[in-house]
Chains A and B, each alone.
Chain A
Amino acid sequence: MIERLQMTNFKGVKEGSIDLSPITILVGSNNSAKSTILEALFMGMNPFRPVPYFIPKAVNNPSTVIDVLSYLHKTLDYEGFAFLLYNYSAKEAEIKYVSKELEANQSQNKNWLKLRRFYHKIYFTSSNSAVNTEKTQMDEETIRYFGRASMDDSKCDVFTFDTLLAETLLVSPKLIVAGYDYLRHEWATVVNSKIARTVAKDISTLSPEQYIDFTMEPVIGGKLDINAYLEDGRRIRLGDLGEGIQSYFLSRILFELANPKILLWDDIESHLNPRILTALAEWFGDLVKQGKQVVISTHSLEAARVIAGINQEQTCVCLSFLKDSVLDTRSLSIEQMENLKTAGIDARTTEALLI
């Protein structure tokens, strides 16, 4: 488990840190660094490791973390990696992952990842010196690094695909299509495992329809389509099911395939009705029992209340906000949030004012 995340000059955060629990729920207004926290955790020391997404036109497919981040931040006329650096121009950014458990067998419990800008490239250096196989001269200093990304386009040079820290998986409504595309390419793995069947059974408890399996089938044009098989023999294309069910299905399957130690979920309330939300909350509890960690972001107090309520002992609701680009966070219990709400104070929008 990662107990603490510290960031300097990463994306919109000049500096700041956050303490993490087995389940951490990030709540805050827009531009309060919730997604930045998730993305820093998603980088997980090695942004060049493969993840279960297929990003259109990416250099690597299955894509790497950095391809996914680039896809999430791509604007109409810009596609470099400058967004990783504060103000697009910081000379150096650093992310520290504090984890006693993961590094119990090492002398240090801080893992760090440094991003150094030199001309139009960003060089990635890890605290794990063994992977920093490459070296370059930067001004008068020689630095060692394991990967390099361009500030101007989506080109990267990767020298290790190793997982350097606990594997993390980011789930986001913006990544649904990339997740589908990954499943289409990895259909044999999915079909030949029992994963889809298990997930189908779970989904049946949340829907009036009784699904027995999900499978991939060719459709006209030679493409593969994901179908849900029903008990009565009918089949429905996954894309025709409700978006909440699609989202739940995809996340569960990707999680089972990637088997990460830390699940990150951005905007969890998106498309999810209360029944699916409750099922997710219970699933998160099961994940924690298996020794995994969950970090989610939401704008919904209802989502926070359900997830924190079901997993009270393991969960921390964390209000995040940025003041002058410095990240500040406050832990609140659901009871505290509800008391504020009763008094007419929405903690999600007044976070910077609260003591």
Chain B
Amino acid sequence: MKMYFLDPTSRVSINIRRLRRLSFPVQRLILSTVAELSTLVVLGDGSPEDEIVGILACHQGNKTVGITKPEKHSTDAFREIRQYLKIRSINKLLFILDQDTSSLESIFSTVESIFREQGITFQLNRTFGDTEKVRLYECSIGNRHFAVITVVSGLAEFTCNQHMIEDHLIMLAGFQSGASGKAQWQSLSSEEKLGVLTLLKDKDVVEVAFPQHYFAFELVESDC
């Protein structure tokens, strides 16, 4: 997947570019100009979400996506949809956010109430199989139609009270439970973290470790 950063000097851009130190081929996947952009990946929580997105992009096809991280966090990121629609030709938005301490129902209910607040007409198009952590909404504002894919990070298999994208990484490191995936990930040394990230060079490992993200990225690649 080709990546185009809407803010080239942002932390997100820097963190993804730094993946080259682990020999991920990000350099050849990062575009400095694009004529058209149909899909935007919006990070609700920042890092290490950005690195995971960079790694996922390395394992996908040739579609070009914009990548951005708004100042607003988590579900509040959905409040920026109208700004993103100022980009000509955007018709698909993929939001990635941590589950944190909320239930999935409460997260999606918040998302839907933000849609209403923003004057976005929506219809839940699909939830996906055994993961309820990905939802696809068909949305519109006036005659502008677009899809919103929402991915909630976190693994129920990792026993903790606060589910985040770090759950996926820390399980890969061999942990099954803890106070939170984030705290445990932060307690690892730099070398240990790099060791885990390096495992993600294997596409099959990525697919297993980040099932909902991998699935959502495949949706982005497809014409859902």
State the CA gap A122–B173 with chains docked (Å). 70
Interface centre among B7, B33, B80 (most CB of A within 10 A): B7
Task: Evaluate contact between B70 and A354: CB separation under 8 angstroms.
Answer: no
Does B83 touch A at the CB level, under 8 Å? Answer: yes
Residues of A within 8 A of B68 (CB): 343-345
With contacts A344-B10, A345-B6 known, is A353 near B88, CB below 8 A? yes
Residues of A within 8 A of B70 (CB): 342-344
State the CA gap A334–B188 with chains docked (Å). 43
State the CA gap A341–B9 with chains docked (Å). 12
Does A188 touch B at the CB level, under 8 Å? Answer: no
Q: Residue-by-residue, is B9-22 near A (CB-CB < 8 Å gives 1, otherwise 0)?
A: 11010000000000
Does B59 touch A at the CB level, under 8 Å? Answer: no
With contacts A349-B7, A352-B35, A353-B34 known, is A344 near B71, CB below 8 A? yes
Output the least CB separation between B80 and chain A (Å): 4
Interface centre among A343, A346, A350, A353 (most CB of B within 10 A): A343
Does B119 touch A at the CB level, under 8 Å? Answer: no
Task: Evaluate contact between B86 and A354: CB separation under 8 angstroms.
Answer: yes
Which residues of B in the span 55-76 have a Cβ within 8 Å of any Cβ on A?
Answer: 68-72
Q: How many residues of B contact A (CB 8 A)?
A: 24
With contacts A342-B70, A342-B71, A342-B72 known, is A350 near B83, CB below 8 A? no
Output the least CB separation between B148 and chain A (Å): 15
State the CA gap A343–B37 with chains docked (Å). 16
Task: Evaluate contact between B8 and A346: CB separation under 8 angstroms.
Answer: yes
Interface centre among A339, A350, A355 (most CB of B within 10 A): A350
Closest to B89 in A: A353
Residues of A within 8 A of B88 (CB): 353-355
Residues of B within 8 A of A323 (CB): 35
Output the least CB separation between B5 and chain A (Å): 8
Does B122 touch A at the CB level, under 8 Å? Answer: no
Which residues of A in the span 307-355 have a Cβ within 8 Å of any Cβ on B?
Answer: 323, 339-346, 349-350, 352-355
Closest to B9 in A: A346
Residues of A within 8 A of B84 (CB): 343, 345
Closest to A336 in B: B86
The DSSP consensus for interface residues of chain A is: loop
Closest to A324 in B: B35
Does B87 touch A at the CB level, under 8 Å? Answer: yes
Closest to B36 in A: A353
Does B42 touch A at the CB level, under 8 Å? Answer: yes
Residues of A within 8 A of B87 (CB): 345, 350, 353-355
Task: Evaluate contact between A339 and B83: CB separation under 8 angstroms.
Answer: yes
Residues of A within 8 A of B9 (CB): 346
Q: Residue-by-residue, is B29-40 near A (CB-CB < 8 Å gives 1, otherwise 0)?
A: 000011111000
Output the least CB separation between A348 and chain B (Å): 9
Task: Evaluate contact between B83 and A340: CB separation under 8 angstroms.
Answer: yes
State the CA gap A344–B33 with chains docked (Å). 17
Which residues of B in the span 181-217 have a Cβ within 8 Å of any Cβ on A?
Answer: none
**In the A-B complex, the 4 residue pairs with the closest CB atoms:** A344-B68, A343-B83, A343-B80, A346-B7
Could you write out 29 A-B pairs with CB less than 8 Å apart?
A323-B35, A339-B83, A342-B70, A342-B71, A342-B72, A342-B80, A342-B83, A343-B68, A343-B80, A343-B83, A343-B84, A344-B7, A344-B10, A344-B12, A344-B70, A345-B7, A346-B7, A349-B7, A349-B8, A350-B87, A353-B34, A353-B36, A353-B37, A353-B87, A353-B88, A353-B89, A354-B88, A355-B86, A355-B88
Taking Cβ atoms with an 8 Å cutoff, the residues of A that contact B are 323, 339-346, 349-350, 352-355
Please name 14 further chain A to chain B contacts, defined as beta carbons within 8 Å, in addition to the given A353-B37, A354-B88, sorted by A numbering. Answer: A340-B83, A342-B71, A342-B72, A343-B71, A344-B70, A345-B68, A345-B84, A345-B87, A346-B6, A346-B10, A349-B7, A350-B87, A352-B33, A353-B36
